[in-house]
Structure 1
Amino acid sequence: MNQQKTQSSKNLSLHILALVAGAVLLVAMSMEILTGDHRHFSQNYLWIQFAVCMVFLADFFIRMTQSDRPARFLVHNLLFLLLSIPYLNLVDWFSLHLSHGWAMFIGLIPMLRSFLALYLIVAWLANNRFNQLLTAYLFSVLLFTYLASLIFYDYEILVNPHLDNYGDALWWAWMNVTTVGAAIFPVTIIGKVVCVLLPIVGMIFFPIFTVYISQYYTGKKSAD
């Protein structure tokens, strides 16, 4: 029993490390998008992405070696491995010619790895406690909306005449996640995809928030 708790604690520590690495990648990506030229990636950003992916890979292989059945662990966690590969660095090293849009899309893949780490940490912490689960949902919506605003800004700023700065992209993202809509319409394929996903996320989250408020006041009334 104690050994199982120790192993669970070690896994949580590794997931937290992966989440921190993902946060570093998000900051680096934000700086790259907000200060870059939207056509080329800086070497600093590429090296940060490589370092973060190395952390993800180290996390994966450490947990695999600690597993009683490494082959089974590999099969069941293959998605984690695929999301940890530094694809953007491979594109750069092999001088593959991709548009900035496709390169940015590839660069977003490791972010999914950090989202999975966030999910696993929340699953470990929540333990059926609704308050923590709601906090996790709220944090996820905030993070997804922020990331969507960055993606929209990077893909649209050079081609969308209605988008003047990042503030417009952030406002656009929040208006769409609340399902209100904005007067800025996407012109790129990625922008249109994000424009569809944001209201879906909002429609998933707000009923959960409504249920939480109802249960909170019902429980408070019962206690009184």
Structure 2
Amino acid sequence: MQRWLELPMLLLSVAWIALFVLDEVRGLGPGLQWAVNAIWIVFIVHFVGEFTLAPDKSDYLKRNWLSAIALVLPALRVFRVLRVARFMRAAGWLRSVRLVRVIGTFNRGMRALGRAMRRRGAGYVITLTGVVTLIGAAGMFAFERDSAASGIDSFSDALWWTAMIMTTMGSEQWPQTTAGRVLCVLLSLYAFAVFGYVTAMLASFFVGRDTPPPVASDDAALARLEAQLAALREELAASRQRPG
């Protein structure tokens, strides 16, 4: 059953990430908002189904607590209807909620790629880094677009800034909001981890290219040795058959 759901859940996760980025950058119309709500309901049903079938419920929650929080957050859109958003904005809660939503989207992207690409090789790291860069840029733009001091005035600026963080080069612009700074730390930690992996991968590639190929004369000498051993066996067998 789980295998049948892997591809649909992967496609829904990709759609969720794309809609998340679009929502943070430009906002969503009524039709796309309905699509987000529909995907969110499917994720909840899938989570509840896995939780119900899990033999150890507490262990499942320990491994998926971030996914559970990310599924609860969209329900906070009800606050818009209840006119509580103004109070939450004044208390600084909305950015915290949005930060958890960004982290939850990171987590969903990593889990979806982990299930789709079981071999955690270079392709997995490159794809995951692209997803993290896109989500991080959308989140950073959402946090910093109202802060004139940060210099991140457009999504292209946020994408460039995030790409520089991913390459550990840094940038002249730095986030000014608390949520933006927390996101910056998380992106930097990921970048350092990936940088070490890429360095090791490139080192193994170049070392492998510099390693001389096996010498043909060694293969020839081994073949001659095997031939001599075979001849020796035949001679021993013939000597045993001779009358004493």
TM-score range, shorter chain: 0.7 to 0.9
| Correspondence list, 1:23-172, <5 A | 23-36=14-27, 43-44=30-31, 46-63=33-50, 67=53, 70-72=54-56, 74-78=57-61, 79=64, 82-83=68-69, 85-92=71-78, 95=82, 96-97=84-85, 98-99=88-89, 100-108=94-102, 110-111=104-105, 112-122=107-117, 125-126=118-119, 132-161=120-149, 162-172=151-161
> Which of 159, 180, 183 is the matching residue for 1:194?
183
Identical aligned residues as a percent: 19
What SS does the aligned partner of 1:12 have? Answer: helix
Query: Structure 1: how far apart are the matches of 2:163 and 2:156?
Result: 11
1:5 aligned partner: none
> Conserved in 2, the CA contact under 8 Å of 1:83 and 1:109?
no
Q: Gapped runs of 5+ residues in structure 2?
A: 215-244
- Per the TM alignment, residue 150 of structure 1 is displaced from its structure 2 partner at its CA by 0.7
| Conserved 8 A contact 2:13-2:109 | yes
- The 1-side partners of 2:189 and 2:37 are apart by 32
Which amino acid in the other structure matches residue 11 of structure 1? Answer: Q
1-structure distance, mates of 2:58, 2:188 = 34
- Distance in 1, matches of 2:174 and 2:103, equals 25
Question: Structure 1 pair 179/149, CA: closer, same or farther in 2 (3 Å)?
Answer: same
SS at match of 1:30: helix
Classify 1:223/1:216 alpha carbon distance in 2 versus 1 (closer, same or farther; 3 Å): farther
The answer (yes or no) to whether the contact 2:17–2:109 under 8 Å persists in 1 is no
Deviates more, 1:176-185 or 1:146-155: 176-185
Contact 1:32 1:42 in 2 (8 A): no
* C-alpha contact (below 8 Å) 1:53/1:110 kept by paired residues: no
Q: Name the structure, 1 or 2, with higher relative contact order (CA <8 Å, separation 6+).
A: 1
Quick check: which has more Rg, 1 or 2? Answer: 2
CA RMSD of aligned residues (A): 2.8
Distance in 1 (alpha carbons) for counterparts of 2:104 and 2:10: 11
State the number of aligned residues: 200
Secondary structure (helix, strand or coil) at the match of 1:183 reads coil
| Aligned equivalent of 1:7 | none
Task: Give TM-score scaled by structure 2 length.
Answer: 0.69
CA contact (8 A) 1:18 1:114 kept: no
| Matching residue of 2:169 | 180
1:148 Cα deviation (Å)?
1.0
Whichever residue aligns with residue 168 of structure 1, its letter is D
